[in-house]
Amino acid sequence: RPYVQNGLALDNNEILVSDFDLNQEFGEIERPIRPTIRFIVKFGDETQNQGILVINYLCVGLFSNLDSLIDTQLSLINQDGYYLHSNDTTKNWGWLLGNENATLRVQDPRLWFKLNRVTEFNVQNDGVDLFGKILLTPAGVNSRYPELFYTYPLKTNGATGLALIENTYLWIILSCAALFIGMMVWVFYTLVDLGKQRERAEQANYQAQIAVSAKSKFLANMSHEIRTPLNGIMGFFQLLALEPLNKKQLGFAESGLKSTHLLSQVLNDILDFSKLEANKLTLQHAAFSLEAMITDVGVLMSGSLKDKRLELWLDIQPNLNLAVIGDEIRLRQILVNLTSNAIKFTEEGFVKIKVTQQAQTDTHITLKFEVSDSGIGINEEQLSRIFNSFEQASMEVNKKYGGTGLGLNITESLLTLMDSKLEVKSKPMVGSTFYFELVLEKVMSATPHISTQVSQQLYQRLMQQLHVLVYSNNTIGKNILERIFENFGWASVHAASLDNVLTILSERQHSDAPRIDVVVVDKPKVDATTWAELEQIKACIDASEAPLIYLLITLSSDLDQNFEKMRLNLIDGYFIKPLTPSIFFEEIAAKLLHQEGQMIVNEPCLSTKDLKGYEILLVEDNFINQEVVFNMLMNLHAHTTIAENGKIALDILLAHPNRFDLILMDMQMPVMDGVTATTHIRQELELTDIPIIAMTANAMESDKKMCFDAGMNDHLSKPFDQKMLIDKIMHNVANAK
């Protein structure tokens, strides 16, 4: 349409007020006629046009009101002399309705001449007519189009004319016109203001981006400055714990190490929150084992159960497709956050991680994850706050339990990135359940998670019905174990007391009923009573038909030297909660295979406890971190050479290009940084096979990308402990070989 074309021809942020015309639909003038005026603004900047905004104002009511307000002849004429309104309706809108000569310019040239000499809003009386002029577009608008104005000649005849001259009706008309004009001007200035607001919004957005960038740089620098000494503190505490200390001294060392882990988690929370706030956190897409990941979470969280009468359970639905594609690291972080909270707010009872299938297709599976506890719970009023940044349920909770108040907010934000939502059910003094559903892609080549060490023949035998006796007074544990055994095709029987256990074992030995193959004793706490009960169980069993006896325990400080001594005599093995089906299956398989006199053939692998014979180049400028890492590697029997910066490292490698099995490279160093040194190693020295691990306090994704782009093989964020270091080394050395 013409007004659209005119709008597109505007400069960016320029405003156009159209002529009065009649509204058209599908190329035809609408009947009855609908006078219309349009306001058009074009939006955009130097880089792109963003479109036009058109406001249509229908003026039917305006013209009707003019007729009802006055009984004399009133004419409204546009800048070309055509009638928009007059008593003779055949004259109106002549240029649109085929009456080209219905114009004041043609019919009354004298009056047209006078009207064109009238100044804006100035009513004149020449003794015959009253006439005036209204300018609809202020200066500066429609700069490329003619000035837009409308005139209103008023014929003064008889009493009505005298009344008009005496302003009896004149101001009614002028007020009506002024109201209309005021509305037009308001719309105009609104459009102008919209343009200004947009400019202000763009400026504010630009300033916000600068602020976010500055904050990100500040957080990165802060992270580096804190992580570097924190890595030294953590390392020395760990090395101290390996020394021959008395119980009190060891407690101090372990408490210090635990404190450094907590501080490290606070740093990670703040950095993750910053990334999420700046929309700079991206999700990974890689295959992983769901059961292995959940097992890692369970093992990690079991270390937080010390001094609590608390049990951690993993309840994974049998026969799940456990090989999936997604962001393993972030999913683990979500479960760790939720489980850590559950443990923090639960003094006794249980914490349970449950995974069930909700739906599946040929390529995807929908899983429901639940973390439930028997803790303090959350009331309705507190539920409205717990997902806010830096907030907890109450001040009392913050004082008693501590924390940043970011965990749930980060978890919810991560799930939003995954197209999911965190929900909660809770009852004060009963417990809470946090849950979410997640759609993950299947790994189509996945096979059942059974160790390759177990022969197919043994697997077939194990899948025949074994008989398991579960001795437990824990309902949750009993139900989980029964589901595990049922999935294996094993029959299980439950005993809630020692007398029940002894009765069942005795009856099975002296009847035709199937004998018990495995006894699982579930005990939250291992003490003298536990050993006494196991002695009675052992005594009532015929040695020739003795079942395998396993103890299912919670990780605690009770696992001392006495435990190691007693277990050799009374049990065949033990499991530390949380327990997964594959761990249980593989242990039983190994025991039965051993009973048959067969040997388990392990695939060649590198020891995770010994680096004897390995040459490692440590490139690190910080003396404290040099000493920490050097001593960690010395404990693992590795031979370590230290270079204080990248330049020294290049000189050493130039002299001994084939000497080292692996390089640990800091990123920020004087003289030559780690990224530059790595680039020289790969390109100039052409040492492309030696693994290089970035060992840095920079924890941002951009820093990791910089490491990989330079040619490094892996990334180890400070602070790290000895296990993290050895795992990284073994993984990269194994891949290199």
Q: Is the pLDDT assigned to residue 499 strictly greater than 90?
A: yes
- DSSP letter at 543 equals G
> Mean pLDDT over residues 576-590, rounded?
81
Cα–Cα dist 531/574, whole Å? 13
Q: Is the pLDDT assigned to residue 440 strictly greater than 90?
A: yes
> Mean pLDDT over residues 470-489, rounded?
88
Return the SS3 of 573.
Answer: strand
Write down the architecture of domain 456-595 according to CATH: 3-Layer(aba) Sandwich (3.40)
Phi, psi of 695 (to 5 degrees): -120, 95
Over 145-211, what HEC string results? CCCCEEECCEECCHHHHHHHHCCCCHHHHHHHHHHHHHHHHHHHHHHHHHHHHHHHHHHHHHHHHHH
pLDDT band (50, 70, 90) for residue 659: very high
In the chain, the amino acid numbered 32 is P
pLDDT band (50, 70, 90) for residue 523: confident
Residue 222's Cβ-side half-sphere holds a number of Cα atoms within 13 Å equal to 13
Which of 23-32, 485-494, 696-705 is predicted with the least confidence, judged by mean pLDDT? 696-705
What's the pLDDT score for residue 222?
66
What's the pLDDT score for residue 84?
80
Q: Is the pLDDT assigned to residue 404 strictly greater than 70?
A: no
What's the pLDDT score for residue 169?
36
Q: Is the pLDDT assigned to residue 332 strictly greater than 90?
A: no
Question: How do 15-17 and 28-29 pair as beta strands?
Answer: unpaired
Cα–Cα dist 659/645, whole Å? 18
List, for residues 158-194, the tens digit of each pLDDT value: 333 333 334 333 333 444 444 445 555 555 556 556 6
pLDDT band (50, 70, 90) for residue 199: confident
- Residue 206 and residue 200 in contact, taking contact as beta carbons nearer than 8 Å: no
Over 477-514, what HEC string results? HHHHHHHHHHHHCCEEEEECCHHHHHHHHHHHHCCCCC
Positive/negative CA dihedral, 272, 277, 278, 280: positive
| Unique residue bearing structure tokens 């070309």 | 80
Cα–Cα dist 198/195, whole Å? 5
Tell which wins on pLDDT, 347 or 470.
Answer: 470
Average pLDDT taken over every residue of the chain: 75
Q: How far is CA 158 from CA 124, 131, 153, in A?
A: 18, 17, 16
Is the domain spanning 206-276 CATH 3.40.50.720? The answer is: no
Return the SS3 of 556.
Answer: coil
Q: Other CB atoms closer than 10 Å to residue 100's CB: what's the count?
A: 11
Q: How far is CA 716 from CA 58, 264, 379, 720, 727, in A?
A: 68, 14, 41, 7, 10
pLDDT band (50, 70, 90) for residue 541: confident
Cα–Cα dist 100/94, whole Å? 5
What's the pLDDT score for residue 383?
75
pLDDT band (50, 70, 90) for residue 368: very high
| Unique residue bearing structure tokens 């970035």 | 694
Q: How far is CA 276 from CA 269, 270, 271, 389, 403, in A?
A: 10, 10, 9, 12, 19
List, for residues 225-282, the tens digit of each pLDDT value: 676 677 777 777 777 777 777 766 776 677 677 667 656 766 666 666 666 666 666 7
> Mean pLDDT over residues 459-470, rounded?
72
| Unique residue bearing structure tokens 């400019």 | 199
Q: Other CB atoms closer than 10 Å to residue 163's CB: what's the count?
A: 15
Q: Is the pLDDT assigned to residue 142 strictly greater than 60?
A: no
Bridge partners, residue 544, by sequence: none
What's the pLDDT score for residue 162?
38
What's the pLDDT score for residue 466?
84
> Mean pLDDT over residues 296-308, rounded?
76
Task: Enter the pTM of the model.
Answer: 0.54
List, for residues 204-213, the tens digit of each pLDDT value: 877 877 776 6
What's the pLDDT score for residue 25?
78
What is the b/e burial string over 227-248, where b = at least 16 CB atoms within 10 angstroms of the residue's CB? Answer: bbebbbbbbbbbbbbeeeeeee
Q: Provide the greatest CA pair distance for the chain.
A: 134
Closest CA to 234 of 555, 611, 633, 632: 632
What's the pLDDT score for residue 718?
75
pLDDT band (50, 70, 90) for residue 156: very low
Q: Is the pLDDT assigned to residue 292 strictly greater than 60?
A: yes
* Lookup: tokens for 624: 């404290």
Q: Other CB atoms closer than 10 Å to residue 465's CB: what's the count?
A: 12
**Residue 403: burial class (beta carbons within 10 Å; 0-12, 13-18, 19+):** middle
* Prior bond of 719 cis (ω within 30°): yes
Bridge partners, residue 77, by sequence: 83, 151
Most confident range (mean pLDDT) of 9-18, 35-44, 121-130, 477-486 is 477-486
Q: Is the pLDDT assigned to residue 98 strictly greater than 90?
A: no
Domain boundaries, the chain: 2-195, 206-276, 284-442, 456-595, 615-736
pLDDT band (50, 70, 90) for residue 420: very high
Q: How far is CA 555 from CA 27, 136, 259, 567, in A?
A: 82, 83, 20, 15
pLDDT band (50, 70, 90) for residue 713: very high
Q: Is the pLDDT assigned to residue 565 strictly greater than 70?
A: no
Q: Which CATH class is domain 284-442?
A: alpha beta
What's the pLDDT score for residue 603?
38
pLDDT band (50, 70, 90) for residue 141: very low
Give kind and range of the element (H or E) at residue 338.
helix 328-344
Positive/negative CA dihedral, 379, 384, 385, 387: positive
Q: Do domains 206-276 and 615-736 have the same CATH topology?
A: no
Q: Is the pLDDT assigned to residue 63 strictly greater than 90?
A: no
> Mean pLDDT over residues 577-592, rounded?
80
Q: Which CATH class is domain 615-736?
A: alpha beta
* Lookup: tokens for 591: 């025991």
What's the pLDDT score for residue 215?
67
